[in-house]
Structure formats: C-alpha cells, structure tokens
Amino acid sequence: MKFNTMIFGILVGLVAIYSCKKDDAPGFAQITEPTTEIVGSLWINNGNNFSELDLNDNQEINAFTTLDSFRCSEFEGTFICMQGEHSGTKTLMRKGTFNGELLWSKEYVSDTEKYFLLNTTEIQQNTVFISYKIINSTSFNSTYHLEALNLDTGSVKWSIELVDNVQRITSLEDQIIAELSIGSSTTELLSIHIDDGHIDHRIPFTDRISNLIGGSSSIFVMTWNNRIISMDHQLNFNWTFDTDSPNILGGFERGNQFLFYSRDETVYSIDTNTGSLLWKHAYFDDYPLAINTLNNKVYVSNRKAGESNIQIKTLDLFSGEELDAYTYATNQELNASATKYFFFDQHLLLFNIAPDDNKATIALINISDKILVWEKELDQVAYPHLIITPTGYYL
C-alpha cells in the first residue's frame, strides 16, 4: 500500500536459502525469465541490520548496520527517523534518503529525572508532528506532548501538553485531527490548528479506532466495531455507515467513493458525500486480508476459511463486478494468517514471518499477468518495511 509515512528495515548478512519459481501454484504461469523488468527495491531488517533487495531478482544490492534500531516516516522521498534506546536519549532525524544524507536532527535528552518515549510521527503541510511522553525516572509518572517541527529545518514551531497519548494524526484543511488514547481505548478526538497548536475543537470518543483517514473534504473514522463516521474539520458528524460485523479494515478515498473491507466477508463502496452504499461485494466463507486500487480496479487478497492458499480478486472500481480471480498456492509450512500483504503498482508482495522457525518467506506476484515473479526464503527472521519504485513509496 502506498504510504506517506513509512519505513522498512533490513537484514545485513542476509543469507538466501533459495530463490525459485513455484511449481505448485495453480493460476500462475511457470516462467524462467521475467516478462518485463521490475524497477525498484525492497528494504527489510533484522534488529539493527538492514538490507535492500532488488525487486527484479531479489538479490541484495545494499546493506548497513546502525548502533541503534530506528523507524522512519516518508515524505516525498525524504525520511523522518526516530532512533535511540528505550529509556535513553532519543534522536529525531531528517534524511535525504533512507540511509543517506542527514539534513537535520533534534535530540530529546534524558537525565537523572526524566527520559523520553517517542511515539507517532506524521508529516503534514511542511510540518513534522511528533508525539511523545516524558517519564519521571523515579515515580514513572508520565506527561504527554505533541510537537510541531519545521520540515526543512527541524526547528520547533509549537509544543502542547495533552492529557493522553496521541495514537493517530491526520489533516484536513488548516487543522490536524488527533486521536488520544490510553492503551487501545480511544478517549478523545482533537481538532488542532496546524499553524499555532491551538485546540479548536474536542469531542469524547469511546469507540476503538482502527484507522483515521484525512480525505479531500472530510475525515473518515474507522472503528473496530461496525461503524465508519465522516466528520468535518470541526468534528461535526456528516454521516455514519454500519456494517453487519465488527473489525472494519482497509480504507481508501477514490473520487466520490470510500472503499474498505470488513470481517463480515464483504468489500464496500460508499458515497463520500452522503454515506450511502454504492456497491458491495461479498466473499462467502472467505477471510479478506488486504485491499488496494489501481487504474479503476480494486484488488482484494483473501483466503478460504481453514485453507492456506491465497486468492487475489480483481473488481471493477465503479460497479464492484468481479473481473478476475486466481489462486496462489502457499507452501504448506507458510502460516497464511501471519503473512503481510503489500500492493504496489500491479504487484502484490507477500511477506511471511515465522519467529519460531527463525525464518521468513517472500513472494512477489504480478497481478495483471498472473505470474509468480520470484519466491525467496530467508534463514533468519526479517521484517518488511519499505518498497521503493519509480512511481512512489509503498508500505
């Protein structure tokens, strides 16, 4: 999925056990050479070790090791990275590339009385928003803060203290919308002026939020129960839409449509202006896993209950009509429920992590051509973070 805030890490000393084309994958053509060259790379990590793999042939093309692990958010090809020990000094950095030129850094320095935990980072309208809490080293009492930094210089524009932790941030017009939470429970939604940090509006919110998405003229609050809520920048409700089951996932605004899928085995398209249903597509006895859109098509990855094979369906964006479907037969050792799904361009990358077996498996699929491009097994646990192609950065 394409993202504006992301990072990957990667595994130095990456040892490939094998890279092969799968023989037992019905619905995919067996190939010995790729039909077209894939331009781009995948970053993965293991602890402080990072590696970059070529998407065309899965070979390692870059590697480095850091003293401390870090995680980053992306903004138009540059990265805001957080680094530091759990209870020590934290560093916030802006880099020109994932592992490249340092543009600026800001230190959050611990002492005998306090230390910092940096949390959510978001980039909106040439501003870096960083949420963190300051923990008293003796009493372990915490105070919660939201800070706005100039994207180009790292200088502080404003800083405010809040009553709870900031879990998510999005933007709409001249406001940022922040979700405050304790643990996994949402407590409030705040509308904060982006220039000076003034809290213009706040409302209590008790539903647990699964996603907070800033649209073209409203924000979409997706909850872990069965509800999507559209709000304006003053946090007034425009409309609500309820599904038949909890755990609403995904979420994309495309023109006048908002698309998402739910645990009720259905993909929905609703009108962003009215909240009325435009179309829905049911997957009876299937478990949706991921969703994305490209070129007036909707791609949905799902699997049958009790099966490990993964099915990819293509729907028409405007009608929800099913245009195509095919199946990727996973390795019997692959736990499909532990697999991460990354759509980019016309490809789907599957990344399965098996900590108990100390390994990870990667598979790259060309959706349009129904081709398993390559499959690779790593002999250590690794984690995906960033796909970089000429068309953008993807999570």
The DSSP 8-state label assigned to residue 2 in this structure reads: B
Q: Whole-angstrom Cα distance, residue 19 to residue 376?
A: 4
Q: Is-above-0.85 flag for pTM?
A: no
Residue 274: inside a domain: yes
pLDDT at 97: 83
Residue 257: inside a domain: yes
Residue 121: inside a domain: yes
pLDDT digits (tens, 9 = 90+) for 314-363: 999 999 999 988 888 776 666 666 788 888 888 999 898 888 888 889 99
Terminal Cα distance for the chain, rounded: 5
* Nearest-10 Cα torsion for 51, 54, 57, 63: -30
Residue 4: inside a domain: no
Cβ burial 110-137 (10 Å sphere, 16+ → b, else e)? beeeebbbbbbbbbbeebbbbbbbbbee
Kindly state the tokens that stand for 142: 């915490």
Residue 169: inside a domain: yes
pLDDT at 32: 38
pLDDT digits (tens, 9 = 90+) for 133-148: 999 988 999 999 999 9
CB 243 within 8 A of CB 264: yes
Reference 367, options 323, 303, 334; nearest CA is 323
* Nearest-10 Cα torsion for 246, 249, 255, 257: -20
Residue 9: inside a domain: no
CATH number of the domain bearing residue 260: 2.130.10.10
CB 358 within 8 A of CB 343: no
Q: How many domains does the chain have?
A: 1
* Domain around 320: 16-394
- Cross-strand bridge partners of residue 337: none
Mean pLDDT, the chain cut into blocks of 10 residues (395 residues total)? 36 31 36 62 89 94 85 82 82 87 93 89 90 91 95 96 93 92 86 95 91 93 92 95 83 93 89 96 78 89 78 93 86 68 88 85 89 89 87 80
Reference 273, options 316, 232, 226; nearest CA is 232
Residue 246: inside a domain: yes
pLDDT at 24: 36
pLDDT at 333: 63
350's enclosing H/E stretch is: strand 347-354
Amino acid identity, position 55: L
Q: Whole-angstrom Cα distance, residue 184 to residue 197?
A: 25
Residue 6: inside a domain: no
